[in-house]
């Protein structure tokens, strides 16, 4: 049975890395002493080692160890032996390109479906949807496909921002971009605001955190859902 936390972000304004989620993660990873970390998204071009060290410092606060998948000679074997998995944020295209390069997409799907707890933040959450076409990231590399894990039956837009009525910015809003997406695609999109996450247990998908989420469905007006809402029927 799938066990997943699909979070909008790793860091809230004014808090430390993963700090707002640590109490949840202590319970979520209760059967895993070591978390396999996938650092491929490389925020700001950070090295895999430096990114893993940052994650390690956060997990030590809840008595867990993090080990980067790049430290293993056989990343596919490392995945299949993992007791818990974390895919961090950064650039979604870089992340997906490396997952395909190392032939890990199917392995990751299989491991998650087997019940190994999976945490994704930002780019690591984008890959949980049907495609990565609703990411906010620049396509700085060209992965073989925009299709990824498909662990939930919709797309995700992490770091969702509402239009600022006081702004003089005349460019497209997140809502406009998602409407553009729906001119060519029909799957729903969840706009996950900072500090919100999806808790997945098997086929159950519950919105968690303090904030509502914005839902975009094909040929429908966008609407809000309250935290605690069951989103299992959104397809």
Cβ within 8 Å of residue 207, ≥6 positions away:
196, 197, 198, 199, 213, 225, 226, 227, 228, 229, 231
Hey, what are 164's tokens?
């600022």
Task: Respond yes or no: is residue 162 known to be catalytic.
Answer: no
CB 88 within 8 A of CB 58: no
Q: Measure the CA–CA gap between 200 and 81, rounded to whole angstroms.
A: 21
- Catalytic member of 8, 10, 70, 137: 137
The order of strands in the sheet holding 65-68 is 65-68, 34-38, 85-87, 118-121, 3-7, 197-201, 204-208
Hey, what are 208's tokens?
């968690």
Task: Respond yes or no: is residue 15 known to be catalytic.
Answer: no
- Catalytic member of 8, 10, 122, 196: 122
What value does the CA radius of gyration of the chain take, rounded to a whole number of Å?
17
Task: Respond yes or no: is residue 122 known to be catalytic.
Answer: yes
- Catalytic member of 48, 159, 182, 232: 159
**Cα distances (Å, whole numbers) of residue 188 to 44, 108, 137, 152, 231:** 30, 23, 19, 11, 11
| Residue 31 DSSP SS3 | coil
Hey, what are 49's tokens?
């080692």
Q: Measure the CA–CA gap between 37 and 59, rounded to whole angstroms.
A: 11
Q: Measure the CA–CA gap between 232 and 156, rounded to whole angstroms.
A: 14
Cα–Cα–Cα angle for 103, 99, 186, rounded to 5 degrees: 105
Catalytic residues: 122, 137, 159
């Amino acid at each position: 049975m799938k066990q997943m936390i699909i979070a909008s972000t790793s860091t809230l304004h004014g808090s430390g890395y993963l700090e707002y989620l640590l109490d949840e993660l202590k319970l979520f990873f209760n059967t895993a002493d070591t978390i396999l970390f996938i650092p491929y998204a490389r925020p700001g071009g950070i090295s895999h080692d430096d990114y893993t060290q940052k994650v390690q410092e956060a997990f030590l606060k809840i008595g867990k160890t993090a080990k980067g998948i790049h430290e293993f000679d056989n990343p596919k074997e490392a995945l299949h032996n993992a007791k818990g998995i974390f895919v961090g944020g950064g650039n979604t295209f870089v992340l997906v390109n490396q997952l395909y390069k190392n032939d890990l997409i199917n392995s990751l799907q299989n491991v998650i479906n087997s019940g190994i707890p999976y945490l994704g933040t930002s780019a690591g959450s984008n890959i949980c949807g049907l495609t990565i076409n609703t990411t906010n990231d620049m396509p700085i590399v060209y992965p073989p496909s925009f299709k990824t894990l498909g662990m939930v039956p919709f797309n995700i837009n992490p770091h969702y921002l509402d239009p600022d009525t006081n702004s003089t910015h005349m460019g497209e809003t997140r809502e406009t971009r998602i409407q553009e997406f729906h001119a060519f695609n029909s799957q729903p999109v969840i706009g996950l605001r900072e500090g919100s996450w999806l808790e997945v247990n098997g086929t159950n998908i519950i919105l968690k955190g303090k904030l509502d989420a914005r839902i975009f469905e094909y040929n429908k007006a966008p609407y809000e859902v309250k935290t605690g809402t069951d989103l299992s029927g959104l397809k």
